[in-house]
Amino acid sequence: MNEITIEAGRAERQYWRDLWRYRELFYFLAWRGILVRYKQTVIGIAWALIRPILTMLVLTFIFGKLAKMPSGGVPYPILVFCGMLPWQFFATAFSESGNSLVSNAGMISKVYFPRLVVPVSSVITSFVDFLISATLMVLVMVWYGFMPGPQVFALPLFVILAFATAFGAGLWVSALMVRYRDFRFIVPFAVQFGLYISPVGFSSNVVPEQWRLLYSINPMVGVIDGFRWSILGDQNIYWPGLCISLVMVFLVIVSGIWYFRRTERTFADVI
């Protein structure tokens, strides 16, 4: 007769081992997400290039030409692109993660696997678009004859920070979407509102000094400032605000994992 030993905490450890065992599912869902996103489109994956170009042109015209925002001595399109690159990645991952569990309802209700795989694969899919847009930014910098300084080697750290922010926020919205379908209307509004309160089309240096620490509670402020500092160099980075953003990203990830794991056992019943 087989003996079963009940050990405290074993189920939780097994869950994280299962994430590694199901690692191929990450690749499959991410690849499928890329194919579905551009399926039956006329120009296919070129949409990943057209969207940032159009957004850059609009923001440059509004903030650079009409509002006359300062650019710190760099071409305004480059300033905008450096802010738009991490923001577009976050916004896309946030939206895709929100719909990821609902879109895979059939698989979730019938097959066991760690549900954490689904929103994470959505972030990976959005990261592919990020890499495509990054190549476009390089071309824009070549066009303007702008070369980054040695601080560009710190850019991977801020890429990881952007990925972590998208991951933590994606966990929250994906778990909430399963139980409260109203979030499919809230998420687009939150993304649009976040664009206005994040320094995408302007430098955060224009924010009054007495408000900068409070402004940095938005974790994307630190991410965008870090991108600009790494690429442009002469853009001053507000280090206290960056520390606040790091703390906020950590809290979003920890609380997102906690809430996702707490509600995960009910996904198959309510989805």
pLDDT tens digits, one per residue of 54-77:
888 888 888 888 888 887 788 888
Contact status, residue 147 vs residue 228, Cβ threshold 8 Å: no
What pLDDT, on a 0 to 100 scale, did the predictor assign at position 4? 40
User: Residue with structure tokens 């853009």?
Assistant: 235
pLDDT at 1 over 80: no
Give the residue from 200, 194, 201, 212 showing the smallest Cα distance to 66. 201
**What does the alpha-carbon distance between residue 178 and residue 115 come to, in Å, rounded to a whole number?**
12
Residue 246 CB neighbours (<10 A): 17
- Give the list of residues 6+ apart from residue 99 with CB closer than 8 angstroms, or none: 177, 184
Of 57-61, 232-236, 241-245, which gets the smallest average pLDDT? 232-236
Q: Is the pLDDT of residue 250 over 90?
A: yes
**How far is the CA of 255 from the CAs of 21, 44, 113, 219, 242, in angstroms?**
24, 37, 21, 14, 20
Q: What is the mean pLDDT of residues 147-156?
A: 87
Q: Confidence band (pLDDT; 50, 70, 90) for 161? A: very high
Mean pLDDT of 4-20: 60
